[in-house]
Structure 1
């Protein structure tokens, strides 16, 4: 059985940096995020690592693990939201005591998704793939991003529905800030490899494929054990987003996960929009999508609202989900059971 945390009113947000911290030159955006959330119903407990960045990480692995351990076992902390992702979160896994983790939400994406997936696979506790803390600093929040509070406030046994965004951001324009951070200029369209409307159901698992594929073959990536122990071998509906891998790198990672048994009982795969997927000769990321759809005989949905091309819906690792596409629009209903 999956264990679901619940976001309560007047929640205390713990902020730690299990991967990268924020360089001093960017401290203003972290302070702005803290101030913005403090003006809402939240209290924030910001520890040391979010303010530090050196050697591609916020601090040595043991220090990062200790801070995370402190927050996740603290009775006063209700939810943990790192400032953003990074590169080397995988270093802290061996230093964590997953058996001591309290049932509380961890929210984020990018390198944070490696922690999210490892926690759900290891403990059966649901985790939330969605916005980072620094992306909540705007005076306004777009409707898609804002859905994180509604999703994380869903009671056990209830369902919550999200819809594809109307517009997405093609490129960052940090020199031209908006009230809601993102520049949502491009029409959103969820697509499928068969160019047909799709409806697919399964237990959600996934994250940033650049990082999470490294869990395959480790004690923190045992999908078979998770399936047998926590979801009674229900089919898995995977979601991935590609930060900066080429098409060939993406393909290698997909094959690695397939050979590790991650797709042995899969109902479908979703891919987020990506700025990456660099073409190798004439091999594209869309060829990767078609290859895996053909090999597994499953529907593949792509360009969904997930990952480094915002905005993004909030996807719950472990939740039962039904995803539908209709003429380029997307709908995802998650049930906490």
Structure 2
């Protein structure tokens, strides 16, 4: 069984930085994002860590964990979200009191996805891989990103469908701010190995492959136990996004996941767009995708709306998912059962 939190209008949102906080010179961006959330009717409980950043983290691990634990145990908070990702979220995983968590959404991506996946695997509570708070500061929000709220207000037993974006952002341009925050200039095309129509069904799990791979072999990456306790051996749809690793490292990571049993009983793989897929000796990301598709004999879809080339679909770890791809367009339906 999966526990599904529920976000309602006028809920309380907890802001904390279990990875990186916001340095002083960028506080204005965070203030704008908070104001937008308040305009939307949410009450904000803001921790101290979000306003700090020193040596690749918002604060020492004990301080980050204490603030996070307080929010995880707070019945009044329906959603916890960080300002953005970072580098050293993994330091707090062993300091979380998993037994005392009250059901609530945790939303984010990048380094935060290590927390999201660990929470779902350890507790069976669904978590949300999607937009960061700071990217909601614009005068308006693009249709794909905007779906985060629709997804998190979906009730248990119901389904929610999202569609691939029309255009995506190839690179960040902070020097030229836009009303939507993102500069959506490139046509979105979801691609499949073999180029044909793809359909897959299974429980949704994943995150930023750079950091969730660090959970393999730890108590926070026990996929086998999660299967037994929460999804009764249903197949898994894995979604991955690549922030920084080259193609050879991507290949090593996928092989490690396979050897560790993470990819057992997998119905399909989804890979987000990435500017980091740098080829090694002519070995491309497409080569990697072809190899893993052939080895596992499952469909592989790539260049989806997930990760550091926004916008991105809100994927729910633990949800029952159906993904359909045809003619470069994607449809993701998630059922909270």
Do Structure 1 and Structure 2 share a fold, with TM-score over 0.5? yes
Q: Which residue of 1 aligns with 2:2?
A: 2
Q: How does 1:66-105 map to 2 (within 5 A)?
A: 66-105=66-105
The CA distance in 2 between the partners of 1:89 and 1:186, in whole Å, is 31
Equivalent position SS for 1:162 = strand
Q: How does 1:269-288 map to 2 (within 5 A)?
A: 269-288=269-288
TM-score between the two structures when normalised by the length of structure 2 = 0.99
Runs ≥4 in structure 1, deviation > 2 angstroms?
none
**Offset at 1:321?**
0.5
The CA distance in 2 between the partners of 1:191 and 1:87, in whole Å, is 30
Equivalent position SS for 1:333 = strand
**Offset at 1:228?**
0.8
Equivalent position SS for 2:254 = helix
Equivalent position SS for 1:78 = strand
Q: Which residue of 2 aligns with 1:298?
A: 298
Q: How does 1:7-156 map to 2 (within 5 A)?
A: 7-156=7-156
**Offset at 1:77?**
1.2
**Offset at 1:25?**
1.1
**Offset at 1:194?**
1.2
The CA distance in 1 between the partners of 2:148 and 2:280, in whole Å, is 36
Give yes or no for the alignment of 1:233 onto 2:247. no
**Offset at 1:285?**
1.1
> Which deviations, in whole Å up to 9, do the C-alpha atoms of 1:53-72 show, x marking residues without a partner?
01100111111110000111
The CA distance in 2 between the partners of 1:320 and 1:181, in whole Å, is 31
Equivalent position SS for 1:20 = coil
The CA distance in 2 between the partners of 1:185 and 1:11, in whole Å, is 34
**Offset at 1:112?**
0.4
The CA distance in 2 between the partners of 1:69 and 1:35, in whole Å, is 25
The CA distance in 2 between the partners of 1:321 and 1:36, in whole Å, is 30
The CA distance in 1 between the partners of 2:88 and 2:203, in whole Å, is 27
Q: Which residue of 2 aligns with 1:255?
A: 255
The CA distance in 2 between the partners of 1:156 and 1:136, in whole Å, is 26
The CA distance in 1 between the partners of 2:245 and 2:72, in whole Å, is 32
Q: Across the two proteins, how many residue pairs are aligned to each other?
A: 337
TM-score between the two structures when normalised by the length of structure 1 = 0.99
> Which deviations, in whole Å up to 9, do the C-alpha atoms of 1:173-232 show, x marking residues without a partner?
111111110000110000011111100001000000000000000000000000010001
The CA distance in 2 between the partners of 1:250 and 1:29, in whole Å, is 33
The CA distance in 1 between the partners of 2:302 and 2:211, in whole Å, is 19
**Offset at 1:283?**
0.4
**Offset at 1:37?**
1.1
Q: Which residue of 1 aligns with 2:223?
A: 223
Equivalent position SS for 1:161 = strand
The CA distance in 1 between the partners of 2:288 and 2:64, in whole Å, is 35
**Offset at 1:12?**
0.8
Structure 1 unaligned regions, length at least 5? none
